[in-house]
Chain A
Amino acid sequence: MALLEIENLTVEFDTVNGRFRALDNVSYSVNAGEVMAIVGESGSGKSVAMLAVMGLLANNGHIKADKMVFEGLDLMTMSPRQRRKVIGKDISMIFQEPIASLNPCFTIGFQIDETLKEHTELNKKQRKARAVELLNSVGMPEPEKTLKKFPHQMSGGQCQRVMIAMAIACEPKLLIADEPTTALDVTIQKQILDLLMDLQAKSGMGLIMITHDMGVVAETADRVVVQYKGKKMEEADVLSLFENPQNAYTRALLSALPENATGDRLPTVSDFHLNGEGA
């Protein structure tokens, strides 16, 4: 059975200019122990689906779906109270801006402790030990010292490690990573991706990787969903997607990669024509 199953999810937002459909009848299914990548450019609705799952959409968002089930629990009919129990514990999420995702007023130790207090039965001493253990597992040097630090005293990469530590604090069954490395330097990106893959392999959790970067997809994913303007273009396992893309948009996207350039010019997505930007 799939860990998370979503069928025909549509998300719409109320804006000043009327209703805007950000996601149009898209289905996803993630198995335990699997890395699924959702890839798309801006406006593809790649983040929206997972925000809907987490219940993090802004007030003007409207969700419609035939099915939204996590481990047999129906997320659509769940009470907010039940939902809070699942979210943060069994499903957790990390975001693009690691420094902005941490509360600047509190120490790292306090913030990890809060998460543990919310979702576990541990006492104070056990929680501290667990926090140290978590920081160790995400490769933070000197975890004891780190607990006393404030977010602004750390680099972006370190903050992202702390975010990951908090996200895996309750051993979630599903981790959603929304562009986890976009704000980071390449060498740091490599470290964070390695860490995520390592943790995923060890714990066997499901991992959803939301990204715009085909390179990140190639380095991490088992299965890939390609989205464009709120619609699913293609879903395939990673090798066949890169080797033999079925959809025209996917092909265009892959050929627009500078490393795949043949000759002087890069083919662009508007060559493929789905009223792209351009003049």
Chain B
Amino acid sequence: MSEDIILEARNLVREYRTKEGMFGKLNITRALKGISFKLERGKTLAVVGESGCGKSTLARILTLIDPATEGDLLIEGKKIDIAQQKITPEMRGKVQIVFQNPYGSLNPRQRIGDVLTEPLMINTDMTPQERRDKAMEMLVKVGLGPEHYNRYPHMFSGGQRQRVAIARALVLNPSLLILDEPVSALDLSVQAQILNLLADLQEELNLTYLFISHDLSVVRYIADKVMVMYFGEVVEYGTRDEVFGDPKHDYTKTLFNATPRADVAHIKERLARTA
């Protein structure tokens, strides 16, 4: 096999069981209805969908927080089932996540330095000094400085917090990063900075991204492959040019049509239509 597959999902299913009252009947909600995909090392797969499509559920399974109800998850060719086996620090280190809301994803009572060293303390046997050095190195790598080490999250802007969150995700040297809408809570100018940073880091560290987003313009900019989800199912899966050039499924077309476009030709067309 020539391609280097880092993550493979085979027919992932996730069900939520809720009971109404003590003796009520069991309600089963299928949040994921059989998701399969492969992700090559160093590439970016964008998962596109709107609220309720199951993309956050997928993220929770891929980051080994929740187990899948059915199906297999293979990371670097090894099958992983957290319902069966304990997660080793080594597995932990492979997949990390960056969340959407930089205001909620950092513990308000934790200094930036502790945010970055905590994963190292738990998962490695580095000395405190080594941990500190590693954290400093990461801070610099994401465009912050050593002077930020002792500060609290509330002293940072949204973009800076997102940089910290990226640094935290990278501190264990993962090969795969789940990016759960990492720029959708940010201002446009900050969004551009973070996207640039992500692109730089991918190149430098040979990272693989799974980029969850609802914003097609961002997806088009960053993705190699695109997967469109709708109510727990994959309705479209292909390379970026395939999906954007020739969308097959009706939902994908609706999504493309609904995305506001900020180009001059489009504005001219609109003005001509109303005039």
Task: Give the interface of A toward B (CB within 8 A).
Answer: 41-42, 185-191, 193, 201, 212-219, 238-239, 242-243, 252-254, 256-261, 264-270, 276-279
Contact A259 B267 (CB under 8 A): no
Q: Which residues of A contact B222 (CB under 8 A)?
A: 258
Q: Is B261 an interface residue (CB 8 A)?
A: yes
Q: Which residues of B contact A269 (CB under 8 A)?
A: 188-190, 192
Contact A279 B262 (CB under 8 A): no
Contact A258 B189 (CB under 8 A): no
Contact A186 B193 (CB under 8 A): no
Contact B196 A268 (CB under 8 A): yes
Which residue from chain A places its CB closest to the CB of B270 in the assembled complex? A219
Interface string of B237-275 (1 = CB under 8 A from A): 000000000000000001101111111101110110010
Contact A258 B261 (CB under 8 A): no
Other CB < 8 Å A-B pairs besides A239-B267, A253-B189, 12 of them? Answer: A42-B158, A186-B255, A191-B258, A215-B217, A217-B262, A242-B267, A252-B189, A259-B220, A259-B262, A277-B157, A277-B190, A279-B160
Q: Which residues of B contact A257 (CB under 8 A)?
A: 188, 217, 262
Q: Which residues of B contact A186 (CB under 8 A)?
A: 50, 214-216, 255, 258-259
Among all A-B residue pairs, the 4 with the closest Cβ atoms: A215-B260, A269-B189, A190-B258, A258-B221
Instruction: State how many angstroms separate the Cβ of A243 from the closest Cβ of chain B.
Output: 5
Which residue from chain B places its CB closest to the CB of A222 in the assembled complex? B271
Q: Which residues of B contact A217 (CB under 8 A)?
A: 262
Contact B262 A214 (CB under 8 A): yes
Bound Cα distance A237, B213 (Å): 31
Contact A279 B143 (CB under 8 A): yes
Which has the most chain B C-beta neighbours within 10 Å: A187, A213, A270?
A187
Interface string of B156-182 (1 = CB under 8 A from A): 011110010000000000000000000
Number of interface residues of B (CB under 8 A): 44
Q: Which residues of A contact B5 (CB under 8 A)?
A: none
Interface string of B181-208 (1 = CB under 8 A from A): 0000001111111011001000000000
Instruction: State how many angstroms separate the Cβ of B110 from the closest Cβ of chain A.
Output: 21
Q: Which residues of A contact B215 (CB under 8 A)?
A: 186, 258
Given A258-B217, A259-B221 in contact, is the A190-B257 Cβ separation under 8 Å? Answer: yes
Instruction: State how many angstroms separate the Cβ of B44 from the closest Cβ of chain A.
Output: 13
Task: Give the interface of B toward A (CB within 8 A).
Answer: 50-51, 143-145, 157-160, 163, 187-193, 195-196, 199, 214-218, 220-222, 254-255, 257-264, 266-268, 270-271, 274
Q: Which residues of B contact A215 (CB under 8 A)?
A: 217, 259-262
Bound Cα distance A171, B179 (Å): 45
Q: Which residues of A contact B260 (CB under 8 A)?
A: 189-190, 193, 213, 215-216, 218-219
Bound Cα distance A260, B191 (Å): 14
Could you give 21 example pairs across A and B, Cβ below 8 Å?
A41-B190, A42-B158, A187-B255, A191-B258, A218-B262, A218-B266, A219-B261, A253-B189, A256-B189, A257-B188, A258-B191, A258-B195, A259-B221, A265-B196, A266-B195, A266-B196, A268-B196, A277-B157, A277-B190, A278-B193, A279-B144
Q: Which residues of A contact B192 (CB under 8 A)?
A: 256, 258, 266-269
Which residue from chain A places its CB closest to the CB of B183 in the assembled complex? A258
Instruction: State how many angstroms separate the Cβ of B148 from the closest Cβ of chain A.
Output: 9
Bound Cα distance A246, B196 (Å): 26
Contact B268 A239 (CB under 8 A): yes
Q: Which residues of A contact B188 (CB under 8 A)?
A: 41, 212, 214, 253, 256-257, 269
Contact B263 A185 (CB under 8 A): no
Q: Which residues of B contact A277 (CB under 8 A)?
A: 157-160, 189-190, 193
Instruction: State how many angstroms separate the Cβ of A63 from the closest Cβ of chain B.
Output: 26
Instruction: State how many angstroms separate the Cβ of A107 from the closest Cβ of chain B.
Output: 24
Which residue from chain B places its CB closest to the CB of A218 in the assembled complex? B262
Contact A268 B261 (CB under 8 A): no
Bound Cα distance A242, B260 (Å): 14
Instruction: State how many angstroms separate the Cβ of A23 from the closest Cβ of chain B.
Output: 18
Bound Cα distance A260, B221 (Å): 9
Contact A259 B190 (CB under 8 A): no
Which has the most chain B C-beta neighbours within 10 Å: A186, A212, A269?
A186
